[in-house]
Amino acid sequence: MAPKLILFLFSISLAGSLFAQTNENSDSTRVLQQVVVKAYEQKRQLKEVSAAINVISPAQLERFNNTSILPALNATPGVHMEERSPGSYRLNIRGSTLRSPFGVRNVKVYWNGIPFTDPGGNTYLNQLGYYNVNSIEVIKGPASSLYGAGTGGAVLISSRPEHITPGINLHYVTGSFNLQNINAQITTGNDNYSHTFGYTHQTSDGYREHTKMRRDIATWETQIKASDKQQLAASVLYGDLYYQTPGGLTAAQYNANPRSARFAAGTSPGADDAKAAIYQKTFLAGLNHTYRFSDEFQNSSVVYGAFSNIKNPTFLNYERRSEPHFGGRTIFTWQKQWQQTIVQLSFGGEGQRGFFNTQTFRNVAGNPDTVRTDDDINNYIYSGFVQTDIRFPGDWAISAGVSINKSSIAITRLIGRPKATLKTTFNSEWAPRIAISKKVIPGTLLYASVSRGFSPPTTAEILPSTSIINTNLQAEHGLNYEAGIKSSWLQQRLYVELNAFYYQLKNAIARRNDTTGADYFINAGSTRQRGIESQAYYQLLPKGNGFLTSARLWISYAWNKFRYQDFKVVATDFSGKKLPGVATNMVSAGIDFATRPGWYTNITWFYSDPVALNDANADFASSYNLLGARTGWRTSFGKKVMMDVFAGVDNLFDVTYSLGNDINAAGGRYYNAAAGVNYYAGVAFQIKY
């Protein structure tokens, strides 16, 4: 799709479903809700924050099938969540999956303020179900000035609604490929003191062969307002996840039968013979404490402990990982106003420490056989940060922050004599960020920022599936320049946002494969990443006093020109080549209708350009268009019971496409086919006390 056509679509399709409606009388003007952003400790409206942040509200999450956050994230610009098979996620923020063959790396994730990314740099995002998420804030680009190491960005997830409603929530969804999803939540108390217990059970046979999955998640959350000065909150999660991994297909296999699992090749078994799968259990408990010393000064702190146990029979071996870790984060905030100038100072620190053990065995039909390696892994990562925000008279604002980071990993190989410990430390990495903004006219903000990111190698990159310890791998560094505009018009019925960035990454970490298909990682020289991201939301109806109470149109668009700037592997020069795994143009758009009787419809369209599959740009995944829709009826029975009955379809035109390509895969096994046309239906009840 030509950029000119996309810009034309953008100009005529100004829209607004990301923002839910404010509560208004039936004859009042319909406007977009003022979304408050917590990122960078701003606690300001999205249109006033000088940063590229995507906000996914409960209203946008509920536009889809109520089983995954993936489609809601992919409806925002600059972000692409991938699913190689049901339960196997990757998160691509401006090309961050360059170093992620699986899982979420190079992105710092927080859940209810708790670091959800472990000290080894890995994030088990698949341990969070749809009902463990109420809202998401995605910070795009280096966020190291306040959120520790990472050049891809940061994701702030909250499971807590703005206001507590005591009662029982029951949800059930069924669909194609034997999808079954059941959720139950019980909430007691009020905004001052509450408990929420939740349980989710999800199963699916999957679209492809060898893609069955099962996920069970139990949670307990509590909030206590001890006084006007002090608040406590606790979050406890236990997740038990199992999913089969079908493996990548070659182009010939993918075109012949995209639903097939990986076939045997040489001495490497097929997916079913290897019983390739993930058995993953995670326990996490965190305690948040907020104390207001005065009207001007407060502290928020969190401590947590977590344990993950993973068993992974693969095509090469059988891996068993034990990953206990703990950590915490504290931030002090001081704010003072002098006449029309407001100053806020935020400072604090974050630390995590892990004591991991990884064992690999020979895999015999899904069972561990001869032990190959046994490694103790001690890792830690610490950061201290400070940030100043000043709002001047005349609608000028400046934000300046910096962090200093230190990380270390020590690996002791327990097999062999004598025992050997290899240690790598990354010291004193400064990560500054400065942003300046100005309201040029009422409702229009211009901003510009410069930020530097730092990302050390993860544990899985220093000790990859080859089981060869690579302590020569260096941290990558990135410098990001950004400018943008945010504006609301037509009595706040229209919101438009546009930003452009220029990002230079040095010592970029990239994945490679050896002849057996095992992955390893190298420092890939430098990259140059330029892009434009835009989104618009429009409330079509000025008033909602007729049969049609709401009609909202929205669109998001991302243009990416990501290139290797200086990258050579032995005698092969990849300089100037496209970064694999990133489409040049991506568009998402939709329209939402709601009627007075309670009937509603959500329609979503998504387009992606072709994607380079290797560093040489010799192979590309084809472009694709997706169309999906959900319709339903929301109604109440008295004042205590609300019901939502819905049904929908995804990939309406049964397009064959790969949602999560294996970049630089050995033997050209790049493709992981996503589901063809599929249907779902569900019902939800909210019973208030």
Q: 174 to each of 104, 178, 211, 418, how far by Cα in Å?
A: 28, 7, 17, 56
Checking if the pLDDT of 515 tops 70, the result is no
pLDDT per position as a tens digit, 44-94: 888 888 999 999 999 999 999 999 999 999 999 999 999 988 999 999 999
Question: What pLDDT, on the 0 to 100 scale, is given for residue 614?
Answer: 92
Question: What pLDDT, on the 0 to 100 scale, is given for residue 501?
Answer: 97
Kindly report the pTM of this predicted structure. Answer: 0.92
- pLDDT: which is higher, 7 or 157: 157
- Phi, psi for residue 9 in degrees, rounded to 5: -60, -40
pLDDT per position as a tens digit, 180-237: 999 999 999 988 899 999 999 999 999 999 999 999 999 999 999 989 899 999 999 9
Burial class (CB in 10 A: 0-12, 13-18, 19+), 238: middle
- Residue 141 and residue 453 in contact, taking contact as beta carbons nearer than 8 Å: yes
In angstroms, rounded to a whole number, what is the distance separating the alpha carbons of residues 388 and 670? 46
Checking if the pLDDT of 11 tops 60, the result is no
Could you give the maximum distance between any two Cα atoms of the chain, in Å?
Answer: 80
Buried b vs exposed e over 15-29: b needs ≥16 C-beta within 10 Å?
bbbbbbbeeeeeeeb
Domains and CATH numbers, the chain: 3-268+307-327+358-688 (2.40.170.20)
SS3 state at 300:
strand
Closest CA to 503 of 599, 579, 570: 579
In angstroms, rounded to a whole number, what is the distance separating the alpha carbons of residues 225 and 297? 18
pLDDT per position as a tens digit, 595-604: 999 999 999 9
Q: What is the mean pLDDT of residues 293-321?
A: 95
Checking if the pLDDT of 10 tops 50, the result is no
Query: What are the residues facing 637 on neighbouring strands?
Result: 641
Buried b vs exposed e over 195-218: b needs ≥16 C-beta within 10 Å?
bbebbbbbbbbbbbbbbbbebbbe
- Residue 241 and residue 127 in contact, taking contact as beta carbons nearer than 8 Å: yes
In angstroms, rounded to a whole number, what is the distance separating the alpha carbons of residues 363 and 27? 67
- Phi, psi for residue 178 in degrees, rounded to 5: 60, 40
Question: What pLDDT, on the 0 to 100 scale, is given for residue 455?
Answer: 84
Return all residues near 467 (Cβ < 8 A) that are at least 6 apart.
317, 360, 372, 373
Total number of residues shown for the chain: 689
Return all residues near 128 (Cβ < 8 A) that are at least 6 apart.
69, 111, 116, 157, 217, 237, 239
SS3 state at 48:
helix
Structure tokens at 323: 């990953």
- Residue 259 and residue 677 in contact, taking contact as beta carbons nearer than 8 Å: no
CB atoms within 10 A of CB 594: 19
Task: Tell me the pLDDT of the chain averaged across its residues.
Answer: 89
Please give the radius of gyration of the chain, using alpha carbons only, rounded to the nearest integer. 24
Buried b vs exposed e over 248-261: b needs ≥16 C-beta within 10 Å?
bbbeebbeeebbbb
- Residue 132 and residue 219 in contact, taking contact as beta carbons nearer than 8 Å: yes
SS3 state at 584:
coil
| Residue located via tokens 């679509």 | 9
